[in-house]
Structure 1
Amino acid sequence: MTELSVLRGELDVIDKQIVELYEKRMAVCEKVAEYKIQTGKKVFDKEREDAKIAALTALTDSDFNSHAIEELFRQIMSISRKRQYQLLAREGVIGRLPFTQVESIEKENIRVVFQGVEGAYTQAAMKKYFGDRVNSFAVAKWRDALEAISEGMADFAVLPIENSTAGFVSEIYDLLLKYDDYIVGEQIIRIEHTLLGLPGTKLSDIKTVCSHEQGLMQCEEFLNEHRDWQQVAVDNTAMAAKKVAKEQDASQAAIASAFAGEVFGLEVLKEHISTTKGNSTRFIIVSNQRIFEKDANKISICFETPHRSGALYHILSHFIYNNLNMSKIESRPIPERNWEYRFFVDVEGNLNDSAVKNALRGITEEAANVKILGNYCGGKI
């Protein structure tokens, strides 16, 4: 039986040869990149790569080796493309992305639309981002907000995109693809539910409590201490506060924000009633202009991948090879295309960064229906 150390020695020799051949291959790929720079040819040639893979797998003597060679050379070709993108960027062949840098997002003499009613958390996020003197108006649906900026009725829209406990708002992602609008900022608001009532109301007066269904759920432990209260679900927490203020019934209370209480003249009867502490919602600031602040540090993109093994990995590897940190990924099924998905990804970076340009160039060539949703400053609470 051959000694293990002898076998490992043979592997070391082979591995050294593989490294030498790999570097020799990459040197040739750099010459290919030079040719493409001069001729304007695209880096990614799917037909050529598929034909090459078919020829290589035909040289193997088993199904196992055939799959292994395909996986190996898919990876080698992917690395080769990434090197070619770097060389194209160095030579200035990769042009500017279709976004304009601005010093900062305009916050004066503008009009902002938000979805919901007065007192909603969305309005609170708007005021925190733009200030108290903002000129604003409310609409009933998220779609209405995006149509308002698309039609020029507003300069910016404020929309919820993600809650720390309930997850992302899938419909917002779908709407961002439907409209030619872009994320230019974000604001995170801590969701701190309070119990609101008419001034002078005592807990012993309450018989009914109303809120959004999620608000009732998020305050379950508090409500379990008052099982005699009837729970009524309404469209949103601000509407619950408005209902209590309008009906002037001291036996009614609302679960909503302290901000909603201020708007509708209600008194905070009990603070910090949420079961989960630290619950926050992330809101996005949307414009119909392709702009980004010079200090923007977060990029959101959407893309679809070919329906084959390893396709998502190869797309995401553009972030790896360009040393970009991916902070989030979500998937949504593509309507009328069973078992196919589009992906929404957040990465750290600025559209002026060469590494970002390299990654986006590669993704744009290799994925389908790529859209840069925006480059903006990550929000803080």
Structure 2
Amino acid sequence: MPEQNSLLIFRDKINDIDEKIVKLLSKRKILAFKIAKSKIENNKSVRDTEREKKLLQKLINIGKDNYLTAEYITKIFELIIEDSVSTQMELLQEFYYNKKLNFAFFSFLGPKGSYSHIAVCEYAKKKFKTYFMKACSTFEETLCSVENNESDYAILPIENTCSGYIDETLQLLIKTNLFIVGEIKISINHCLLAVKKVQLCEIKTIYSHPQPFKQCSNFIKKFSNWKIKYTKSTADAMKKILQYNDITKAALGSEIGKKIYNLHILHTNLANQKNNTTRFIVLHRKPLENAENQLSKTTLILSIKKKSDTLNNILFMLKNKIISIKKINIKYSVISEDIFYLDIQDNLSSILIKNILKTAQKHCNFIKILGSYPSEI
């Protein structure tokens, strides 16, 4: 009986602590609302990832002093922080919708200083009076942010003049339920950046996203002693060398990184081709309705049975309307099908496109219309 009483006492204490935790979480949520109002008044971004990382590290250190693992603290507070961000986003969206202002929320592969960040800024300035940005860690997270209604638009790189189509983006386009509603082309100036002005012979390790390494392969080959380290984005690479503060480390990144991360540019225009351009696509939850006379591009994904003449028939019908075509290599795909990505210089409402879709539907495993949108020639 004494053991049973002890158990009840312990449970009552835990229940009391749980109630206090819930009440404290409620107080925290109220503060999140107040912070959101302050950000509206001062036109501040919702998310400050640097502050979040510092806060989490501080809490992890406190946890260690109190016999709690870093994993345990991280799981709990990542959930709390995400809820706080979501709360602030909802309030900001409600405010701007009620004001009926021309605004939008964009998600992109961050952090700031990445080429996706530059693309967002250039595209959003053309289309919206006010815009907010959410930096994501991966392309998939960028799309999920829009799919989960946390952002209005996602911007992803789709094609580069040096390295061609970006396979990761093509793979995600097959699975997403978002639509392409726009595009923008960004001139890419890959730079070699370091914490100080140093000779290239002093560098031992170079960081960047895999794409810049492909696009600057001719330059990289000149330095066979350099160790290559891949990062989630070019901006992530620039942040790393700033944190390391080591003159033997450098990053392939954007020119704007010099200002954002206070770095020194050692070399510019490193791409294999002089005119290095990346095309970015803009994705939204609803498709765009273009006027019939508007210069538009229609993008499709087709799954065609092997040994079928369907693709040749479609290409013959399109003649001079086809802009580009790319075969998508799908991991674990069905052996009996080929999947193609097509850009067509025509509007979805045109008779030509409608006839092509009718023909293709009879001979394709599936057809996915990714969108019809204004074409940036």
**Is this a same-fold pair by TM over 0.5?**
yes
Q: Aligned letter for 1:340?
A: E
Bigger drift between 310-319 and 182-191 goes to: 310-319
Q: Aligned letter for 1:201?
A: K
Q: Aligned letter for 1:118?
A: K
Tell me how far apart the structure 2 counterparts of residues 108 and 148 of structure 1 sit (CA, whole Å).
20
Tell me how far apart the structure 2 counterparts of residues 285 and 261 of structure 1 sit (CA, whole Å).
27
Match of 1:298 in 2: 297
Match of 1:237 in 2: 234
Match of 1:328 in 2: 324
Tell me how far apart the structure 1 counterparts of residues 137 and 318 of structure 2 sit (CA, whole Å).
38
Q: Deviations over 1:12-60 (max 9, x none)?
A: xxxxxxxxxxxxxxxxxxxxxxxxxxxxxxxxxxxxxxxxxxxxxxxxx
Per the alignment, in what secondary structure is the counterpart of residue 278 of structure 1?
coil
Match of 1:311 in 2: 310
Tell me how far apart the structure 2 counterparts of residues 117 and 271 of structure 1 sit (CA, whole Å).
21
Q: Deviations over 1:76-111 (max 9, x none)?
A: xxxxxxxxxxxxxxxxxxxxxxxxxxxxxx994110
Q: Is the 8 A contact 1:318 1:362 kept in 2?
A: no
Q: Is the 8 A contact 1:296 1:375 kept in 2?
A: no
Matched, 1:271 2:265: no
Tell me how far apart the structure 1 counterparts of residues 309 and 224 of structure 2 sit (CA, whole Å).
53
CA gap 1:219/1:168 in 2 versus in 1, 3 angstroms: closer
C-alpha RMSD of matched pairs (Å): 2.9
Matched, 1:285 2:308: no
In the TM superposition, residue 258 of structure 1 has moved relative to its aligned partner by 0.3
Match of 2:149 in 1: 152
Per the alignment, in what secondary structure is the counterpart of residue 103 of structure 2?
coil
Per the alignment, in what secondary structure is the counterpart of residue 341 of structure 2?
strand
1:161 to 158, 161, 167: 158
Q: Deviations over 1:312-368 (max 9, x none)?
A: 223333324xxx511111123564421421221111111232333333333334433
CA gap 1:276/1:184 in 2 versus in 1, 3 angstroms: same
Match of 1:192 in 2: 189
Per the alignment, in what secondary structure is the counterpart of residue 305 of structure 1?
strand
* Structure of higher CA gyration radius: 1
Structure 2: where are the runs of 5+ without partners?
Answer: 1-99
Q: Aligned letter for 1:177?
A: I
Tell me how far apart the structure 2 counterparts of residues 366 and 309 of structure 1 sit (CA, whole Å).
8
CA gap 1:234/1:181 in 2 versus in 1, 3 angstroms: closer
Tell me how far apart the structure 2 counterparts of residues 155 and 342 of structure 1 sit (CA, whole Å).
29
Tell me how far apart the structure 2 counterparts of residues 333 and 235 of structure 1 sit (CA, whole Å).
22
CA gap 1:347/1:241 in 2 versus in 1, 3 angstroms: same
Larger RCO (CA under 8 A, 6+ residues apart):
1
Q: Is the 8 A contact 1:210 1:234 kept in 2?
A: no
Tell me how far apart the structure 2 counterparts of residues 304 and 216 of structure 1 sit (CA, whole Å).
31
What is the identity percentage for the equivalent residue pairs of Structure 1 and Structure 2? Answer: 26
Q: What are the within-5 Å matches in structure 2 for residues 1-381 of structure 1? A: 108-131=102-125, 134-198=131-195, 201-203=197-199, 206-212=202-208, 213-216=210-213, 218-223=215-220, 231-294=228-291, 295-320=294-319, 325-333=321-329, 335-379=332-376
The number of residues matched between the two structures is 271
In the TM superposition, residue 277 of structure 1 has moved relative to its aligned partner by 2.0
In the TM superposition, residue 147 of structure 1 has moved relative to its aligned partner by 1.6
Q: Aligned letter for 1:181?
A: L
Q: Aligned letter for 2:325?
A: I
Bigger drift between 150-159 and 261-270 goes to: 261-270
Tell me how far apart the structure 1 counterparts of residues 202 and 259 of structure 2 sit (CA, whole Å).
20
Per the alignment, in what secondary structure is the counterpart of residue 108 of structure 2?
strand
Per the alignment, in what secondary structure is the counterpart of residue 131 of structure 1?
helix
Q: Is the 8 A contact 2:163 2:214 kept in 1?
A: no
Tell me how far apart the structure 1 counterparts of residues 251 and 350 of structure 2 sit (CA, whole Å).
48
CA gap 1:326/1:217 in 2 versus in 1, 3 angstroms: closer
